[in-house]
């Protein structure tokens, strides 16, 4: 018999079900991997505190209470104006006592920018493997490197459980500006609107499109003209970053497809990486020294790292166009996206290839 953990009992049962399923999926992952994932999620479930209670707690700092109040307003806007499935999501807070909640490991072959996929219950196959412990992520990354893969490991500050649990606001995102917090909540809630198991690019591009549109509407509705300027500047910087990396990713692909020796491909790969860094330095001059992507460019710029940019952005223009065709009606837009999800893989891929 499962002991009675009060309001957490259903969540514990769900975790046990997922862990049990994983035992029969050892061809995809090891049971030990799922165990650490279950422990990590369970720690979040049992660490929750009600945000409204924290707002009323005089011992909580004024700055933090102000953030919590803003999150409640963002939740209300997401539900009433964006038609996002808020329910009880982001009504609780968890201090995870670390810099990131999860560390994702990405991998790609030495001569390909196509990422390796890993398969899981519920989420399907995705282009990363997540760890609640940085050492675990680094250990697995080292194993992949020994096998000859390009590897990239990055910290993640929030994630969606796809409606399996009510998602909480985490301490890892509390340093973000209010408009960035809004974007994060819109992004993660979008995953509960439509999710295509096994297609990271589809899912993340859709959520990114919803995030950007949600931020635009949120700032207009709350009359924040100065923040609108900042958000638009950041969006343009992000777009130029994406275009730069995507252009070079295509050049890497062209290099790998050539009839060259491995030594020649490695030499060409290094040359392209150096050129990419140089172009970024030029781009920063146009940005008046804005250094928001310096940490990203300080890394190896290998194939796994390049793949992370395409995963989140390749289909954003398509979803923006679909929203425009829906006359900005988010409900109609969501219905169109859900219709795409319900298509067969072949029909959907053919449709998206022709957009």
In a domain, 29, yes or no: yes
The CA distances from residue 75 to 162, 188, 205, 330, in Å, are 17, 12, 22, 16
In a domain, 36, yes or no: yes
Question: For residues 93 and 237, is the Cβ–Cβ distance under 8 A?
Answer: no
Token readout for 258 is: 């050539």
In a domain, 226, yes or no: no
In a domain, 60, yes or no: no
pLDDT of residue 164: 84
Domain count, the chain: 1
pLDDT of residue 246: 94
pLDDT of residue 125: 86
Tell me which H or E stretch contains 102.
strand 102-108
CA 119 to chain centroid, in Å, comes to: 17
pLDDT of residue 34: 84
In a domain, 14, yes or no: yes
Which range of residues forms the domain containing residue 15?
A: 8-46
pLDDT of residue 311: 65
In a domain, 343, yes or no: no
pLDDT by 10-residue block (mean), the chain, 355 residues:
42 51 48 85 93 97 96 98 97 97 97 92 84 96 97 95 91 96 97 92 94 96 92 93 95 98 98 98 92 95 93 87 96 97 92 82
In a domain, 39, yes or no: yes
In a domain, 185, yes or no: no
- The Cβ of residue 19 has, within 10 Å, a number of other Cβ atoms equal to 17
pLDDT of residue 312: 73
Burial class (CB in 10 A: 0-12, 13-18, 19+), 45: buried
pLDDT of residue 92: 98
Contacts of 269 (CB under 8 A, 6+ apart): 111, 252, 255
**DSSP-assigned letters across all residues of 36-94:** HHHHHHHHHHHT-EEHHHHHT-TTS-HHHHHHHHHHHHHHHHHHHTS----TTTTSEEE
Closest CA to 253 of 106, 108, 114, 107: 114
pLDDT of residue 12: 52
pLDDT of residue 49: 97
Closest CA to 194 of 168, 163, 216: 163
């Amino acid at each position: 018999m499962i002991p009675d953990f009060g309001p957490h009992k259903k969540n514990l049962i769900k975790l046990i079900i997922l862990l049990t399923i994983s035992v029969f999926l050892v061809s995809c992952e090891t049971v030990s991997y799922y165990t650490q994932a279950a422990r990590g999620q369970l720690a979040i479930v049992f660490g929750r505190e009600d945000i409204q209670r924290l707002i009323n707690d005089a011992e909580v700092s004024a700055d933090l209470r102000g953030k919590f109040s803003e999150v409640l307003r963002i939740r209300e806007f997401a539900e009433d104006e964006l038609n996002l499935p808020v329910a009880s999501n982001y009504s609780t807070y968890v201090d995870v006592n670390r810099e990131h909640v999860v560390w994702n490991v990405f991998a790609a072959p030495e001569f390909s920018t196509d990422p390796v996929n890993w398969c899981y219950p519920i989420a399907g196959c995705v282009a990363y493997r997540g760890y609640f412990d940085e050492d675990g992520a680094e250990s697995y990354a080292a194993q992949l490197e020994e096998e000859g893969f390009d590897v990239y490991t990055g910290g993640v500050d929030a994630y969606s459980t796809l409606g399996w649990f009510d998602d909480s606001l985490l301490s890892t995102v509390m340093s973000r500006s209010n408009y960035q917090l809004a974007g994060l909540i819109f992004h993660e809630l979008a995953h509960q609107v439509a999710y295509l198991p096994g297609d990271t690019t589809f899912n993340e591009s859709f959520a990114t499109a919803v995030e950007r549109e949600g931020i635009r509407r949120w700032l207009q509705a709350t009359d924040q003209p100065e923040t609108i300027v900042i958000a638009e500047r950041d969006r343009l910087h992000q777009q130029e970053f994406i275009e730069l990396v995507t252009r070079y990713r295509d050049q890497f692909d062209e290099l790998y497809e050539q009839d060259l020796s491995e030594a020649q491909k490695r030499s060409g790969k290094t040359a392209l990486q150096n050129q990419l860094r140089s172009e970024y330095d030029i781009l920063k001059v146009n940005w008046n020294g804005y250094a928001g992507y310096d940490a990203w460019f300080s890394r190896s710029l290998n194939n796994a790292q390049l793949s992370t940019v395409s995963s989140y952005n390749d289909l954003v223009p398509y979803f923006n166009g679909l929203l425009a065709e829906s006359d900005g009606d988010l409900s109609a837009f969501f219905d169109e996206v859900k219709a795409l999800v319900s298509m067969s893989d072949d029909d959907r891929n053919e449709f998206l290839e022709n957009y």
